Chains A and B, each alone.
Chain A
Amino acid sequence: MNDRVAKLRQQSMDAIPGISTERAELMTAFYKTDRTASIPVKRALAFRYILENKEIVIQDGELIVGERGPVPKAVYTYPEICSHTQLDLEILDTREKIPFAVSEEARAVYRKEVEPYWQGRTMRELIFTHMTKEWKDAYEAGIFTEFMEQRAPGHTVLDDKIYRRGFVDFIDDIEKSLKSLDYLNDPSAYNKQGELTAMKICAESIITFANRYSQKARELSKQESDAQRKAELQKIADVCAHVPAYAPRDLWEAIQSYWFVHLGVIIELNPWDALSPGRLDQHLYPFYKKGTEEGTLTDEGTRELLQCFWIKFNNHPAPPKVGVTAAESGTYTDFANINTGGLKPDGSDGVNDVTYIILDVIDEMRLLQPSTNIQLSKKNPDAFIKRAGRIIRKGWGQPSVFNADMIVKELLTQGKSVVDARNGGASGCVETGAFGKESYILTGYFNLVKVLEITLHNGIDPRTGKVIGLPTGEPREFRSFAELFEAYKKQLTHFIDIKMRGNNVIERLYAQYLPVPFLSVVIDDCIKNGTDYNNGGARYNTNYIQGVGIGSLTDSMAAINYHVFEHKTLTMDDLLADLENNFEGNEKIRQLLLNKTPKYGNDDDYADEFLKLVYDAYYQSVNGRPNTKGGVYRINLLPTTCHVYFGTVVGATPDGRRRGEPLSEGMSPVQGADKKGPTAVIKSAGKIDQVLTGGTLLNQKFTPKILEGEEGINNLSHLVRAYFKLDGHHIQFNVVDKETLLAAQAEPEKYAGLIVRVAGYSDYFNDLSKALQDEIIARTEHQSF
């Protein structure tokens, strides 16, 4: 990287994450003035007010400009969703892991302005007053988490529309849509008018915002004495005057246009996973091709612009949460994810020159954010996976690898058009979506193992003694595994019903009180439908419930069947007593469960049949049920870091896991249970019909040695291709010695830069909780293929 990039990168790495009250102040000031307007219009006017009044920053040396806060890593708060208390701010400022600096001034602003106004007006409070006792009991027991109590519906990815058209064109579309409203026959015409008016205000506001950057750059250029920088600032001024109002004319404008849209989305509200550009190599290739053919763009120039773009992502940590969810998922990563490779809309190989430049950028930048992935199709050349493999083996967890053909199949299975499917991809951790056209909302993690514990206690949560499940029978009286499994399925459906009921209410609350007119402008077909993104305006609307602990559940079910019902090595009574006692005084039984029991992840049909069984039960209880936006619920299998939190609420389990230990993560086997190498893991994982999900996550840990040389890369490539032949959705790799991780735990200061793959994202090892560090260390380390 050149000096400019090196300096900006270092600045970004050194910047200390902190809280900026700018947005909270502006929002509060805006909402204090009484305005008669519909909620969407009011939201749009608030958005405009912020963009007109927020500070404009252009840092020295920057080519791509725009920050959410007044300085890099100054993070906004969103008091209309949840308002931080003084105690929250104190915790954020002082906690050991993932702190955010909170100044005295910021606390005072919160004390005097923000807290007094928003208390009693937040979405979080609204949600909790609407949730039933059953919901709260299950939530507190750790059966599920709720995504929307602190952040807005998100996981949104853009398609290519902002590279082909500008916001003046979108305003045109909005006006056409407004004109075609049928007030005589469409009872929602007036509501649509409000939504569309709000979208129009937002579209105009983003142009205003970009113009403010243009003016700022123009002013700076006048004061600048360095000739080169002066020219750069003039160019920035020209770029920002043109995009996002008009379609970009070159690569620089294309990247800058995306970045303004990105800022708009994360300033408007705080959606999960921020926003992602999606298939970046596909989007940028036409500009690259044009620029290089005209001789106005070099590979070096392309690289530099992309590197400046990368730094922008890294400047934006995820806004911090309050209360319990801070424990569920503690990371600075905001899960923006960049896709390379895959297929073109006509189904042909999508790998191009920009793909390889992006891979170079990933390799060189080595930043936590953005997350990156490759979408590998059988049509992509081996050179593509091998180039990625050479980055993967450096051990910092990027890029992850997705099966492009499988993503298309998943989307087609969900009823999407073939072109929308080929233009789709994976975002966040592993979530499949039709980019630019789908609202695919993760609604919460679901603790599959806790439901077994409750089944084994006839509806009672043994941790609290509360009855939270159904009376499905005394487990000691079950005469067969089938009876136990029937009981499990009843409990599962019971809790899924509770979760969905809650989801469907929360979805309405967002639709009604927190529409996102700006985001709606860039997602098809919100303009056409005159309907907000949060109210079903998108072409496709899908809700996910993310199953956690399927490996632990599979092994527990297999153990019960094997020892209690089939071989009768244990009675149910003995087993339950041992679980109750956390195996204390009976280590032998724990060892029996650990070592003399079939386990998922070893290509052993006995255990893997239970995987299929529990997977099917979960699928049946969720898939296809309606949400409130005209779409349906689906499942996926990913945990982020929730397998650690969920583990803390589950007692000892029949797979030999002790009380409080983490559950298995994603669809990976239980940590340490896979003993026959990575090929056996892949065979096992390939036994479920993953096309029915919207994403599964498989983690593999390798020692660096086995990926050495050309042969190591070839083997990695064969392993990935074989898993994808088995219709695997995703695989990612940690390439680090156990010794290194243990050493880093002992002397963190010496390993400040050590990045590891967690689950669907990478993070600094030092920033992880001790429990999560231990969990990663415990994952099976494959020493050979």
Chain B
Amino acid sequence: MIWDSKCIGCDDCLQACPNHVTTDMGDEGQHAQRCKACGMCVAVCHSGAREMAGRLVTVSEVMKDIEKDIIFYDESGGGVTFSGGEPFMQPDFLEHLLMSCRQKYIHTAVDTSGYTCTETLLRISKLTDLFLYDLKIMDEDRHVKYTGVSNALILKNVKELAKYHGDIHIRFPLIPGVNNDSDNVARIGEFTALLPSVSQIHIIPYQHMGVDKYYRLQKKYRLEKTCQPDSEEVEAVAQTLKGYGLTVKIGG
């Protein structure tokens, strides 16, 4: 990642790069092709303008960090949330972490898109205290259009999960022009209302926090023109969802 504002223009990173990547932020292709994420530029950058996004860690290293905050979990009744990206991209690692947390009596939540193998999901659900489960678009074609995958597995998984797991919060990211139409909201409401162990649905109003990060990663951000929904719209959606007998929370 590159943090523009921190760069002091010393050019050490360019000289350190074995693959001759330039700093041209506009050219996504060029960067993606050549950058092998070797980290040489990060090592020589003193100003912190170059940062590795992600690093390899062991279960015990992550647990050390998690345990640092036990006093806050105790105080607030909170715990640790595994999100992402997508935690089910690394199911074995996730499973080990969840097991370690359980040994330490730390409350765990898994924040997932649900796009994972059903068996894995159910296996891991036994170690998870709370699921934060995303539902974005009910319409199959539009789901494929915006996420690149079918929603059949996601919907099947959550139905299965709801049979076995007692604490699931559905999370509905509300994105104007993508999934805020009344049809989608209604279908989300209907579907969620039928899930037996879902206690809450959270509306997550779209915000722009990702814009900078995409820029830093030198990736093209495709929703740049999308506005954040205003509070009246969010409130209206909340009312609709409440109409299905759901407990609705905004944000979360």
Contact = CB atoms under 8 A, between A and B. Distances in A.
Contacts of A589: 46
A587 B71 CA distance: 39
B8 A588 contact: yes
B47 A591 contact: yes
Contacts of A463: none
A680 B46 CA distance: 23
A297 interface: no
A628 interface: no
A680 B65 CA distance: 11
Interface string A246-272: 000000000000000000000000000
A648 interface: no
Q: Looking at chain B, what size class is its interface with the partner chain?
A: 10 to 19
B46 A725 contact: no
A595 interface: yes
Given A715-B76, A718-B75, A725-B75, A595 B8 contact: no
A595 B68 contact: no
B75 A722 contact: yes
Say what secondary structure dominates the interface of chain A.
helix
B76 A588 contact: no
A781 to B, nearest CB: 15
Q: Looking at chain A, what size class is its interface with the partner chain?
A: 20 to 34
Contact of B72 (A588, A591, A722): A722
B92 interface: no
B10 interface: yes
Interface in A658-683: 679-680, 683
Contacts of A592: 46
A629 B126 CA distance: 67
B69 A679 contact: yes
B46 A588 contact: yes
B229 interface: no
Nearest to B48: A595
A97 B47 CA distance: 37
Nearest to B43: A596
A587 B72 contact: no
A679 B67 CA distance: 13
Contact of A587 (B8, B75, B76): B8
Say what secondary structure dominates the interface of chain B.
helix
Interface string A706-729: 000000001100110110011000
Contacts of A721: 75
A588 B12 contact: yes
A589 B47 CA distance: 9
Interface in B31-81: 46-48, 68-69, 71-72, 74-76
Nearest to A721: B75
A587 B46 CA distance: 9
A603 interface: yes
Contacts of B75: 718, 721-722, 725
A587 B72 CA distance: 38
A718 B46 contact: no
B46 A595 contact: yes
Nearest to A725: B71
A166 to B, nearest CB: 46
Contacts of A719: 72
Contacts of B46: 588-589, 591-592, 595-596
Given A587-B10, A595-B46, 18 more contacts: A587-B8, A588-B8, A588-B10, A588-B46, A591-B8, A592-B46, A594-B48, A596-B48, A603-B68, A679-B69, A683-B69, A714-B76, A715-B76, A718-B72, A718-B76, A722-B72, A722-B74, A722-B75
23 contacts: A587-B8, A587-B10, A588-B8, A588-B10, A588-B12, A588-B47, A589-B46, A591-B8, A592-B46, A594-B48, A595-B6, A595-B47, A595-B48, A596-B46, A603-B68, A683-B71, A719-B72, A721-B75, A722-B74, A722-B76, A725-B71, A725-B75, A726-B71
Top 6 A-B pairs ranked by shortest CB distance? A595-B48, A591-B46, A718-B76, A592-B46, A591-B47, A722-B75
